[in-house]
Amino acid sequence: MSEKIKLRWNGHACFDVEDLETGKKLIIDPFIEGNPSSKIMKEDVKTDVVVVTHGHSDHVGSAPFICKQNNAPLVTMVELAWILSEKNDGLKVHDLNFGGSAEVAGIKITAVPAMHSSSYEGLYAGNPGGMILDFGGVRIYHAGDTGLFKDMELIGSAYRPDIALLPIGGHYTMSPQDAAKAVTLINPHIAIPMHYNTFPPITQDPKIFKNLVEINSRTKVIIPAIGEEITLDSVKLHSH
């Protein structure tokens, strides 16, 4: 059980997370090459597992390259896992569907629903998902790309995430207003906005999200700068 993690936002929906007790690392939705907001290079990523929420290119990103470079498995939705394994010889995959889990490097990863679409290079890539990243002492809900939906309340009650990573860009996903409503359904200790300001259609002010959340709930909002590292302690999280 890890009591402390380090989380870094790499722009768009890409985060890397390190378990500070075991040293194991995870990266999710690694849209790095082609991401105008990314400050890292795909060649520099060191990780034990790669997670992808759905088939769009701004989420799959550099996942196959990073997996091969690190000899790391890919955890993603089942149809997308099949497509990527067929296109990338030697790629190790864990092909999840909703409610299914894989444990890699001591991290339990569970697929949950998202309201969106999913395709990859013109192919139907199955259902989009969110992912619960369970480090033992700290649980993170990465919502993927999604609209607001009532079952976020069930995700919150079933998995009790400490941290929710939520898209706020509008146009393709929730707006700041809908994402703030999602926080009241999920009820995490901390909410972090993502998937905004990468491209003109998803330009947003995250302070709108922060203000709405903190008016209507007890959840704390953290707005990280791209590349900023945040250390989170489960004892402090659970004392709130």
Question: Residue 235: its pLDDT value, please?
Answer: 60
What's the number of domains the chain is made of?
A: 1
Sequence-ordered strand ranges (E) for 83-209 = 93-96, 101-104, 107-113, 119-120, 123-124, 129-134, 139-142, 163-167, 190-194
The secondary structure of the chain in percent helix, strand, coil, rounded to multiples of 5, reads: 25, 30, 45
For 81-119, give one letter per residue: b (16+ CB within 10 A) or e.
Answer: bbbbbeebeebbbbbbeeeeebebbbbebbbbbbbbebb
82 belongs to a structural domain: yes
In a domain, 146, yes or no: yes
DSSP character at residue 225? P
On whether residue 133 sits in a domain, the answer given is yes
**The pLDDT value given to residue 70:** 98
Residue 162 lies in a domain: yes
- Residue 13 domain-assigned (yes or no): yes
Q: Does residue 180 lie in a domain region?
A: yes
Cβ neighbors of 233 (< 8 A, separation 6 or more) are 3, 4
Alpha carbon of 222 to those of 166, 182, 192, 213, 219: distances in Å? 11, 16, 5, 11, 10
Residue 11, domain CATH: 3.60.15.10
The 10s digit of each residue's pLDDT in 85-110 is 999 999 999 999 999 999 999 999 99
pLDDT at residue number 120: 96
pLDDT in tens, 121-150: 999 999 999 999 999 989 999 999 999 999
Q: List residues bridging with 165 in a β-sheet.
A: 142, 192
Evaluate whether residue 240 is within a structural domain. no
Q: What is the mean pLDDT of residues 28-37?
A: 96
**Cα-atom radius of gyration of the chain, to the nearest Å?**
16
Residue 5 token pair: 């993690």
In a domain, 231, yes or no: no
Does the pLDDT of residue 233 top 90, yes or no? no
Per residue in 34-84, pLDDT (tens digit) is 999 999 999 999 999 999 999 999 999 999 999 999 999 999 999 999 999
- Identify the domain containing residue 32 by its residue range: 4-224
